[in-house]
């Protein structure tokens, strides 16, 4: 019994000492880890500062023209009319071709941008087309369109 306890004790002690030796091979350089963490903190602080500046810019921009940033439903039916809204996203409403034909309302817009700079020439274009069937209970001759903030609004009055 004594030999068994002694053997167990020797085995446990050998395992512990080998574990401690193995742990020494995974020694962590605390100074390096602290330096790496400090660098990460600095990077995150820079990113946070940039995000705070971006939010300040966006809020100032919104404060100058709050109507451009109002969210409205794109379609709405009220007692006296149907209302369709098209988000312009900064496009000029006067570039929208508005037509009514064959009980269909059509909106079409083609925007071309050309920019010259010292680095070269840049051209882009965007095309938008949307059509709506005019419901039978609408007075086609009284359909109106207007600009409301950053929305092109079509009002189709009911009969």
Question: How far, in Å, CA of 49 to CA of 51, rounded?
Answer: 5
CATH, domain 67-157, list 3.40.50.2000, 3.40.50.300, 2.60.40.790, 3.30.413.10: 2.60.40.790
pLDDT at residue 1, rounded to an integer: 56
**pTM recorded for the entire structure:** 0.56
> Which pLDDT tens digits describe the chain residue by residue (159 residues)?
556 665 566 555 555 555 555 555 555 688 888 999 999 999 999 999 999 999 999 999 989 988 778 788 889 999 999 999 988 877 788 888 889 998 899 999 888 888 888 888 888 888 888 898 999 999 889 999 998 888 899 999 998
**Beta strand 96-101 pairing with 104-117:** antiparallel
pLDDT at residue 2, rounded to an integer: 54
Instruction: Kindly report the backbone phi and psi dihedral angles of residue 74, in degrees, each rounded to the nearest multiple of 5, phi listed first.
Output: -75, -25
- Give me the sheet containing 81-87, strands edge to edge: 75-77, 81-87, 151-157, 144-148
pLDDT at residue 148, rounded to an integer: 86
pLDDT at residue 31, rounded to an integer: 86
Question: How far, in Å, CA of 100 to CA of 45, rounded?
Answer: 56
pLDDT at residue 51, rounded to an integer: 95
């Amino acid at each position: 019994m004594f030999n068994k306890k002694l053997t167990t004790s020797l085995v446990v002690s050998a395992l512990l000492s080998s574990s401690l030796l193995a742990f020494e091979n995974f020694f962590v350089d605390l100074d390096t880890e602290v330096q790496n963490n400090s660098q990460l903190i600095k990077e995150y602080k820079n990113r946070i500062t940039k995000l705070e500046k971006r939010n300040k810019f966006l809020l100032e921009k919104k404060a100058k023209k709050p109507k451009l940033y109002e969210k409205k439903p794109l379609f709405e039916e009220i007692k006296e009319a149907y209302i369709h809204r098209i988000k312009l996203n900064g496009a000029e409403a006067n570039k929208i071709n508005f037509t009514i034909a064959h009980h269909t309302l059509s909106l079409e817009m083609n925007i071309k941008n050309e920019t010259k700079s010292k680095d070269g020439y840049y051209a882009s274009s965007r095309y938008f087309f949307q059509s709506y069937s005019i419901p039978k209970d609408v007075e086609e001759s009284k359909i109106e369109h207007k600009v409301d903030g950053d929305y092109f609004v079509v009002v189709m009055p009911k009969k």
